Amino acid sequence: MPPAPKKPAIKKAPATVRKPVARKPAARKKKSKSIPIEWKLALIAVLLVLLSPLYYGYILKGFVGTWRWIKDWGQDPNYRTYESFNIKIPKQYTIHGIDVSYYQGKINWAKVKTMKEDEVSIRFAFIKATEGLLLVDPYFQRNWREAPKAGILCGAYHFFRPKKDGKAQAKFFLQVVNIEKGDLPPVVDIESLDGVSPLKMRAELSDFLNYVEMKTKVRPIIYTGLKFHEDYLDGHFEDYPLWVAHYYQPKLKLDKSRWKFWQHSDKAKINGIGHVVDFNAFNGDSLALDNMLVK
């Protein structure tokens, strides 16, 4: 048999030679410069100031003051809006108060007492007690008890009906109200003629005033509207303290020596009271108010 053919020899590929990889030299860390201790302390001090609530209170106060100044630009500086009370208040008076009746409903007197904006707060309250010969305000006893507990000076008032006997109304009023030391003087509220003549109205009113003063040894306050006073009371009852209603005005158009209290708004919003309230200013300082109290 012929010899088998020889298989061709397989040539091996030459081995590839790997070149050594050149390594990058490690980056050198930069040395951080240390902050001087004085700068650190200064930075901490600045942060403490910025994070302090006192700082923000000061800034906020300044911002509010500036905004109010801009808002009130061109308005009477003595008669500006107090946002929390939602009314304008004459600035030249320092003692303020309210008057209430059943219309205001159940009152939280503690909230009334603590309400304050700038220097305006509630110092006194006149509380309706009676009307005519038969009506007792359903909230009188509660208000008369709770308001003084909150630290508010109080006075009681009677809504006068000229058609009814003045002396009988005075007796009825004093049966309901126990006037004590430290109270404001009692008040008679006269707002209309009720169909009688001015002469008859003044006669019955005089009987009421004389009887209350005789029994309490305190001269009552007369409450009325400015127009009613001009039409029917001017020149009469000059020796009695006067409380006048005259709304939404920067000034009461009546000789300042004639009146003690000014009801200048009937739509104030007061914390602790669910309805709008009459707002009043006292014509005098704290000493003058103290001198008016029942001794």
Known catalytic residues are 99, 191
283 Cβ partners below 8 Å, 6+ apart?
Answer: 93, 256, 259, 260, 261, 262
Cα–Cα distances (Å) from 200 to 131, 148, 172, 222, in that order, read 18, 37, 20, 17
Please check whether residue 205 is in contact with residue 160, taking contact to mean a CB–CB distance below 8 angstroms. Answer: yes
DSSP of 170-191, one letter per residue? Answer: HHHHHHH----TTPPPPEEE--
Residue 202 tokens read as 């003044």
Among left, alpha and beta (phi > 0; psi -120 to 50; other), residue 58 is alpha
